[in-house]
Structure 1
């Protein structure tokens, strides 16, 4: 997908999801002050880094979705401790969350940040870039090259509006700071004694997903490609791409520690849960199309699948399961016909 097409597609999706079709013409003119949070204090309470492997620490988020109460801190931030300094994997939803992460780095490591990676262009994973660019102006911010372009070309502003709305303005004061460097699949980085490797297998959760392997620790930051007890909005999902990416992890990184953007890390069981969910949705969508079933009938078919039933009661986001089936059904139709 070309950069302009990607930007236009994402803009339409954001408008539909977060502002309503009738508000589309006004999105670009909505002043952030209209959504201003009622508190004057935007301080995000400190979070203690939790060691999860030899070189990796997690700053765990507070909740599955953005709210005023959690100030938009609903996506994890991971810190990789190297002899050259700290590498940050995603920066959170606001400048205030980013500053909280920087306080944690200074208090617990007393090191500079030498690099930042953004897993994709959804705002909860990069809107904290501003804080890091202010504190560590020479640290590069790496991402998929199309993510860099999209954030620069209006998508960044619209994600900021979205997060302002979702948190009742708790991210106020945040500015869009896009990634500075594009990365490629299999690109290798060395930060002192630690090696990192980029994995990018095409569209899965979003069109611009990257995953970061911490080679020394046999760990993989998966962003939103895998989540613990949560599924995200499927509007940008490629189900075939998703399944293919999960299979790549299964075949090439078996037994690795998988670090999700949402939820706690895990290994084989965490991967299997997402394989069951995505295969269960898409395979039933294919069956529905082949049998001439409606989307509603296909949804009922999928909900009877043991793989889906296993996770339906424990997975946040299943309340919009019909949307997942609808997207998968449409993709199955295109694939089959």
Structure 2
């Protein structure tokens, strides 16, 4: 397995604190154990098989297994992030593998039924558990399968972040993903790296921290399609505590200037073109530009929130976007980043 030494204990600790706040509402200063008992959860026996999902054709070579809701629940068994399947002459390439071994097994059944081709590779867009915990099923089926990710994602998952995400997803689904084992990606990738699978070329794009510190996007070159992971979501915003607003805006600007004609395939929600990109440009610029102005004008965080909420871009998106009840968190982190940038 590929080892990585670039990740830092500070990164691991930051992610663990984020997980506490996201799922437990605890203060950031508390410690968290990666060996929690799951005895108090509902029995998983009734949830060991995830109902089959039929792949939906998205482009000439890409098919989607669409998630069943924007957040993890017992009812959707943690299936709240999309899985994309790239059909190539050499086999199937999987873009994100889901939140559990059960979801991964469902994806494998779908692949066998729809294509009857082997899985030859997988990519994990970042280290949030809903995008890689399904690796367990794919490695069970294909022990030598290459699973690609940002190099620092590999190190972080192998060093506590993986176990914490597993425990948090077990809790968030009331035990529905019990039996899943941490299975880290095993091959690091770099920006611009390409993979040729006969009739399909995949290209890695990585522009630095945005949604997380370890984001990668995968372009399906022949189809002019770009798997954006959680950098862009459809009618959804996630927890902002790992977000680099400046990095986010840089990445969105790059997509706008260099790949605006691509079909954008998000980890959450349905694919789209300009409107999907514009929606996220509105959200991130609407928050951060107002935070910068507030810092320059000496406004408080509370005043900054009022400024953000009055921005027409935010008013428009708040009405149609899941997660806007946490806008105060976004403002707080944006304000802090703008303060740091000012010094």
TM-score range, shorter chain: over 0.9
1:297 aligns with 2:310: no
Q: Give the Cα separation in 1 of the matches to 2:44 and 2:114.
A: 32
TM-score norm. by structure 1 comes to: 0.97
Q: Give the Cα separation in 1 of the matches to 2:93 and 2:183.
A: 18
Q: Give the Cα separation in 1 of the matches to 2:102 and 2:44.
A: 16
- Partner of 1:327 in structure 2? 333
- Partner of 2:181 in structure 1? 175
Kindly report structure 1 stretches of 4+ aligned residues shifted beyond 6 Å: none
1:89 aligns with 2:95: yes
CA RMSD between the two structures: 1.4
- Partner of 1:10 in structure 2? 15
How far apart are residue 23 of structure 1 and its match?
A: 9.7
- Partner of 1:138 in structure 2? 144
Q: Give the Cα separation in 1 of the matches to 2:118 and 2:35.
A: 38
How far apart are residue 38 of structure 1 and its match?
A: 5.7
Q: Equivalences for 1:243-262 in 2 at 5 Å?
A: 243-262=249-268
Q: Give the Cα separation in 1 of the matches to 2:28 and 2:218.
A: 39
SS at match of 2:34: helix
Q: Equivalences for 1:97-112 in 2 at 5 Å?
A: 97-112=103-118
Stretch moving more, 296-305 or 9-18 = 9-18
CA, structure 1 residues 22+268, in 2 after alignment: closer, same or farther (shift >3 Å)? closer
* Deviations 1:56-101 (CA, angstroms, capped at 9, x unpaired): 0000000000000000000000000000000000000000000000
Q: Give the Cα separation in 1 of the matches to 2:214 and 2:310.
A: 32
SS at match of 1:40: helix
Pick from 283, 290, 305 the counterpart of residue 289 of structure 2. 283
How far apart are residue 290 of structure 1 and its match?
A: 1.0
Q: Give the Cα separation in 1 of the matches to 2:41 and 2:47.
A: 15
Q: Give the Cα separation in 2 of the matches to 1:118 and 1:61.
A: 16
- Partner of 2:3 in structure 1? none
- Partner of 1:156 in structure 2? 162
How far apart are residue 231 of structure 1 and its match?
A: 0.4
How far apart are residue 39 of structure 1 and its match?
A: 4.7
Contact 1:55–1:80 (8 Å) recurs in 2 = yes
Contact 2:190–2:206 (8 Å) recurs in 1 = yes
- Partner of 2:238 in structure 1? 232
- Partner of 1:198 in structure 2? 204
Q: Give the Cα separation in 2 of the matches to 1:236 and 1:26.
A: 18
Stretch moving more, 128-137 or 19-28 = 19-28
1:266 aligns with 2:246: no
Pick from 220, 243, 248 the counterpart of residue 242 of structure 1. 248
How far apart are residue 14 of structure 1 and its match?
A: 1.8
How far apart are residue 12 of structure 1 and its match?
A: 2.3
SS at match of 1:115: strand
Stretch moving more, 38-47 or 169-178 = 38-47
TM-score norm. by structure 2 comes to: 0.95
Stretch moving more, 108-117 or 22-31 = 22-31
Q: Give the Cα separation in 1 of the matches to 2:215 and 2:107.
A: 23
How far apart are residue 27 of structure 1 and its match?
A: 2.0
